[in-house]
Structure 1
Amino acid sequence: MNGPFSQLGDQLGGIWKQLGVNQRVSLVLATLIVVGGLAGMMLWSSRVNYALLYGRLDDAEAAKVIVVLNESKTPYRTGANGSILVPADKVHTLRMQLASRGIPRGEGVGFEIFDKPNFGISDFVQRANYSRAVQGELARTISQLDEIEGARVMIVMPENRLLTDNTRRATASVFVKLKPHAQLPASAVNSIRFLVANAVEGLQANFVSVVDNHGNVLSENNENDSIGGLS
């Protein structure tokens, strides 16, 4: 007794015999195109879309990030200039996980913000992005000091840079998270203020304040010291 599949096969075979050569070729080509299209769609949908996790990391910080990625069995790729890429849907979760472990030491976005071209954005957005990048790069540099676990830099520029009014000067604030039982010497505080001032046009070192995670204004004791010669 023939089953339904056998009957279907007989019917298809009969139809195939009735087709001419050109019709058979067209049917085979159409079938191949459909199968190839479906295979391509499946391959494309399964492809991992990678996005930038961190950029401009030094070898030591990149190694720490990779250790965490390996522990969580997260696929990753490494790129030029110390960049690490991970699946796009995991970027924010991984950044939170890494931040909770103090990795990387430098906080904030750096000049990798310009890695992707942004056509058509306004000059204001360009300036804002540049300011964010400078703040991020300064924070990363300051975080390299032995006593510091992390840092954040905030820069305020006057709206009109042509004005020389003392009330409209550029200013900067640096927040540093010290390592347990660590103290930041006055020379290091002066170095931080000097570093920030020289990275920002029109900013004088005595207009850079430094505060630690205990609420101490570290720059307060340096106002009358050698910082005056750094401005």
Structure 2
Amino acid sequence: MNEWLKKLLAQIKELWSKWTVAQRAILIGIVVVIIATLFAVTRISAKPSSVPLFNTAITDETARDRITLRLAEENVETQVSAAGVISVKDEATARRMRSILVREDLVPSSVDPWALFDIERWTITDFERNINLRRSITEVVKQHIESIDDVDSANVVITMPENALFVEDQNPVTASIVLYTKPGSDLIKNRKKIEGVQKIVLKAIEGLSADNVTISDSAGNILNDFEGMAEMDNVAVTDKEQKLIQKQEAVYRAKVLNALQQTFGNDRVRDLNIKIDMDMSKQKIEAKEYSPIIIKPDNPDTPYDDSIIVESVTISSEEVHKEWKGTGYNPEGPAGVEGQNPPVYSDMSNLYGVSTESGVKKNEVINERQVSSEKRPSIDRVTVSVNIDGTWHKKYDENGKLVALNNGRLEREYIPVSDEDIAKATLLVQNAIGYDRSRGDAVSVVCIQFDRTKQFEEEDEAYFRQQQTRQTLIITGVGIAALLVAFVLFRVISREMERRRRLREEEILRRHQAERERALWEAEQQGLEVSMSVEERKRLALQENAISMAKEHPEDVALLIRTWLMEE
């Protein structure tokens, strides 16, 4: 073997040395392609085979997209063939995804649970056919139950035993169902709905009896134990009766409160208690009533009753009159045999007697009526109690102001409801509830003073706060008015002082001007040459302008003169 391997390697080396570069490259490429092909075949053969999610193709693209999207949310890899068959990696994943899709109602209507029988195989046995039948029936029952609005999902287990030779050895068909209800559903407490689920199962499975059906919830509580639910039914009936009584009490309470509050006010009528006793039993009464015959009904236009009523009417009569005279007859037995008649008849033998019989037979007819009634829940007794508060009035003094007490509160007077008003209110309540004295109804209307301490404290605080605010506003107004008067007086006095100062300054200027003019005049009279500087001429011109402006604008000139004097 080693020699053969050595010869093979030697031949390969000899051929390799003789080949060109192109031949060597072709050989290497062929080897690489062969290795890649072997690797791909190995990977493909090692890849696990996929399992179809449903045995039928899903041609609806929208439904197929919803299914693939839901499977992607569960991180399940899917493969969709060109025909529309969805496949997953293994059977366990397929079963888990089917349950999710069925629970969320994502299974298309084209998918038939009986499709298990559409698979034709040469090797299928009767056992497999029975298994497929049971699985299909289970799936149909499950889909049927889950179509109910109150059911979110359901687990159904059906046991179909093999047929036994003898009937007593035959095991019954059984079914176990676990219901998962939707939030807010009352299916668990509703007996009619549970009976409906049980009837669905009984009608769907042949040979199944009600005793072999078990329906439970997710907590393991048996729901179709109807014998044990009798107490629950009684509780439900009691709850309904109490709700009916409460509803009737609410209607009467609203009616009475509305009538009283419109009359006395919402604040005076607060407390109203009503209690209704109802007979919830059902009674069926059958009776026969006899009544007189009305020959002529009463005319409603007449002020009196002119009807004609008779106890009965004669439809036929028979008068009988019998009279007998003669000897009495004593019947005896055969000849030679003593009779067995009583001594009374024996003593009457051969006696003469007279007998008279008279009678009248009449057939009278009267009104006859068969009465059959079923007594429903009725009101046995109604009791009502109402409290009406009186009225409060604030007291005023002679000046029309509210009277305040020493404790800082306003004085009030309480006036209770009069007896006449209470009687009228009682009559109003009685008519509102349909008062019936014969059944023991009771109406109580009282006048009890309400505790209004907190209300009066708030009203008093608001009143005194308002009075305090009013006084504050008055004092503030008086102060503002005084300030305005003082300001006006100040302005008047200031103007008067300003006017006097201006007059005094004008007088001073006038005197200075007069003295200057007199000095100039005297100098001219003496023939003296008066020489004036440029500044004196400007000053004189300013004085003349000031005098002319003082006549036109006295206030501005006064300000100018004041500034001038301050500079000097």
Quickly name the TM-score band, shorter chain normalised: 0.5 to 0.7
Q: CA deviation at 1:54?
A: 4.5
Greater share of helix residues, 1 or 2? Answer: 1
Distance 1:98 1:169 in 2: 30
Distance 2:140 2:56 in 1: 9
Distance 2:161 2:97 in 1: 36
Q: Deviations over 1:52-95 (max 9, x none)?
A: 23467998986654223234372332798x9632234xx53475
Is 2:56 the partner of 1:53? no
Q: Deviations over 1:146-166 (max 9, x none)?
A: 221221222233432675559
Q: CA deviation at 1:142?
A: 1.4
**Counterpart position of 1:92:** 92
Distance 2:172 2:48 in 1: 48
**Counterpart position of 1:208:** 213
Question: What does 1:64-143 align with in structure 2 at a 5 Å threshold?
Answer: 65-71=67-73, 72=75, 74-77=77-80, 84-88=86-90, 91-93=91-93, 96=96, 102-105=100-103, 110-114=113-117, 116-143=119-146
Using the TM superposition, name which of 117-126 and 54-63 deviates more.
54-63
Contact 1:77 1:86 in 2 (8 A): no
Distance 1:83 1:208 in 2: 37
Q: CA RMSD in A?
A: 4.8
Q: Which amino acid aligns with 2:204?
A: A
Contact 2:141 2:156 in 1 (8 A): yes
The gaps in structure 1 that reach 5 residues or longer are 1-7, 17-26, 225-231
Contact 1:155 1:173 in 2 (8 A): yes
Q: Decide whether aligned partners of structure 1 residues 97 and 121 sit closer, same or farther in structure 2, where only a CA change above 3 A counts.
A: closer
Using the TM superposition, name which of 182-191 and 134-143 deviates more.
182-191
**Counterpart position of 1:19:** none
Match of 2:207, SS? coil
Distance 1:56 1:86 in 2: 14
Q: Deviations over 1:93-117 (max 9, x none)?
A: 4755786xx54318xxx54544654
Match of 1:152, SS? strand
Q: Which amino acid aligns with 2:70?
A: V
Among residues 132, 137, 160, which one is paired with 1:157 in the alignment?
160
Q: CA deviation at 1:129?
A: 3.1
Match of 1:188, SS? helix
Contact 1:51 1:86 in 2 (8 A): yes
Question: What does 1:13-32 align with in structure 2 at a 5 Å threshold?
Answer: 14-15=18-19
Distance 2:81 2:145 in 1: 25
The gaps in structure 2 that reach 5 residues or longer are 1-11, 21-26, 105-112, 230-568
Q: Decide whether aligned partners of structure 1 residues 164 and 181 sit closer, same or farther in structure 2, where only a CA change above 3 A counts.
A: farther
Q: Deviations over 1:126-161 (max 9, x none)?
A: 313321232133223312222212212222334326
Distance 2:119 2:202 in 1: 28
Contact 2:68 2:78 in 1 (8 A): no
Is 2:211 the partner of 1:170? no
TM-score (norm 1): 0.58
Q: Which amino acid aligns with 1:105?
A: R
**Counterpart position of 1:41:** 41
Q: CA deviation at 1:40?
A: 7.2
Distance 1:57 1:198 in 2: 31
Among residues 192, 196, 204, which one is paired with 2:201 in the alignment?
196
Distance 2:63 2:142 in 1: 14
Q: Decide whether aligned partners of structure 1 residues 14 and 116 sit closer, same or farther in structure 2, where only a CA change above 3 A counts.
A: farther
Aligned residues: 198
Distance 1:42 1:143 in 2: 46
Q: Which amino acid aligns with 1:183?
A: D
Q: Which amino acid aligns with 1:86?
A: V
Q: Deviations over 1:160-216 (max 9, x none)?
A: 267555984322222111223322244433333233223322224564332111333
Contact 2:164 2:170 in 1 (8 A): no
Distance 1:121 1:149 in 2: 35
Among residues 220, 228, 231, which one is paired with 2:225 in the alignment?
220
Q: Decide whether aligned partners of structure 1 residues 220 and 84 sit closer, same or farther in structure 2, where only a CA change above 3 A counts.
A: farther
Contact 1:158 1:168 in 2 (8 A): yes
Q: Which amino acid aligns with 2:102?
A: P
Contact 1:79 1:85 in 2 (8 A): no
Greater share of strand residues, 1 or 2? Answer: 2
Q: Decide whether aligned partners of structure 1 residues 73 and 97 sit closer, same or farther in structure 2, where only a CA change above 3 A counts.
A: closer
Distance 2:50 2:70 in 1: 17
Q: Which amino acid aligns with 1:87?
A: K
Is 2:151 the partner of 1:148? yes
RCO higher in structure (CA 8 A, sep ≥6): 1
Contact 2:172 2:208 in 1 (8 A): yes
Which structure has the larger Rg over C-alpha atoms? 2
